[in-house]
Amino acid sequence: MKNQLLYKKTLLVVVFVMFGLILLHASPVAAAIGKITGFKGDAIIQSGAAIAKVTKAGMPLNDGDLVATQSGEVNITFNDGAVMKVNSYSNIQLQERTEQSGTWIFKTSQSARRITCMVGKLWYKTGASNTKSYLQSPTAVAGLRGSDGDFGYDNVRTYLNMYSGDAAVIGSVIRGFFDNPGISAAQKSSVYQSMQRAYQQTVQAQEAPPTVLKPVVQAQAKIAALDVAQQVAAIMKSNPDAVVASQASQALVTLGTITATVRTDLGKAIGDAQKAGVTVPTTTVPATTTTVPAPTTAPTTAASTTSTSTTSTTSTTSSMSTTTICPSPPCEPKQ
């Protein structure tokens, strides 16, 4: 009887220990910061080393995700009600996290959302929370205050057109209505093109037959995707905002560590294939992080209004614009 009781107690302890270990080693699921609420045409989402096609409304978006559109567009709603439309042939990154500012006892924390436009055009309207919203490109950062507007980047120049509210700008921007840079700018964007190639490589890896080579092509596709994120970080290291540049430097370190792990998996997969007598085809995956030259800043012209320091401005009509600012209530976002 005593032996049976001891056995039951021991078994119960083992169960609890195993359950605890399962919880300890379980991978935490990142909480979504928003979701796709509408789309048309072709678009893809990159989350970590995975890239997928946008197929339905409701697909979640997480901190660090990249979104790229082709001939269509994507509508995004964030958890606090902020909304965004990503125009055709655009490439953006979403970031939302707690940021700290100040030093020592004066240090404060603030929830911040950063939308990085690597090429193309987007429309964004802030939400109801206290989250700070920043629209940024390789050459500028616009901190929005209870406002909405268009933001874009054509590989050289950053554009900002406010419909309501104001923006504190660091860097150089051209203010007023602007056209979507479109397919011509996307074709010249290294990040946009790399993401499209990485997606095709991901599709090929998913469709690969279940042979000894499948783990090889899967690892290669993951490295190609991670290289896209590394390109973004390498470019944003030259941003005029010290906070953005610092975050990009930290991202490069993290991505380098993750990529090294995947490369170890790739080496093992190649070794297994070779042991099985299978020839591994040459991969086009870059051996190291792609080095991307820093963007050049366009010279100021008489038709543009630029800002090179942190300033707060209200919406006005730029000399570039051929239309007036949308009346209240705001009109539909421009294409």
CATH number for position 150: 2.60.120
248 with 108, same domain? no
- Euclidean distance between CA atoms 255 and 109, whole angstroms: 25
Q: Could you tell me if residue 54 is inside a domain?
A: yes
Residue 205 and residue 78 share a domain: no
> Are residues 266 and 178 both part of a single domain?
no
**What is the pLDDT at residue 318?**
35
C-alpha span between 63 and 34 (Å, rounded) = 9
Q: Render pLDDT for 300-321 as a digit per residue (tens, 0 to 9).
A: 333 344 444 443 333 333 333 3
Taking the C-alpha atoms of residue 78 and residue 60, their distance in angstroms, rounded to an integer, is: 10
Strand partners, 51: 46
Whether residues 176 and 194 fall in one domain: no
In a domain, 9, yes or no: no
Q: Are 41 and 97 in a shared domain?
A: yes
Question: Do the strands 158-171 and 174-175 form a parallel or antiparallel pair, or are they unpaired?
Answer: parallel
Domain carrying residue 138: 35-184+296-314
Average pLDDT over residues 50-63: 96
**Contacting residues for 240 by C-beta, under 8 A, at least 6 apart:** 139, 140, 141, 170, 171, 308
Task: Please tell me the predicted confidence (pLDDT) of residue 30.
Answer: 65
Same domain, 115 and 58: yes
pLDDT of residue 29: 52
Residue 128, in any domain of the structure: yes
Same domain, 171 and 310: yes
67 and 172 both lie in a single domain: yes
Q: What's the pTM?
A: 0.77
CA 251, CA 231: separation in Å to the nearest integer? 11
State whether 214 and 250 are in the same domain: yes
Average pLDDT, the chain: 81
Each residue of 10-38: pLDDT tens digit? 444 333 333 333 333 333 456 899 999 99
Q: pLDDT tens digits for 40-56?
A: 999 999 999 999 999 99
Is 202 in the same domain as 102?
no
Instruction: For residues 261 and 156, state if they share a domain.
Output: no
Q: Do residues 258 and 150 share a domain?
A: no
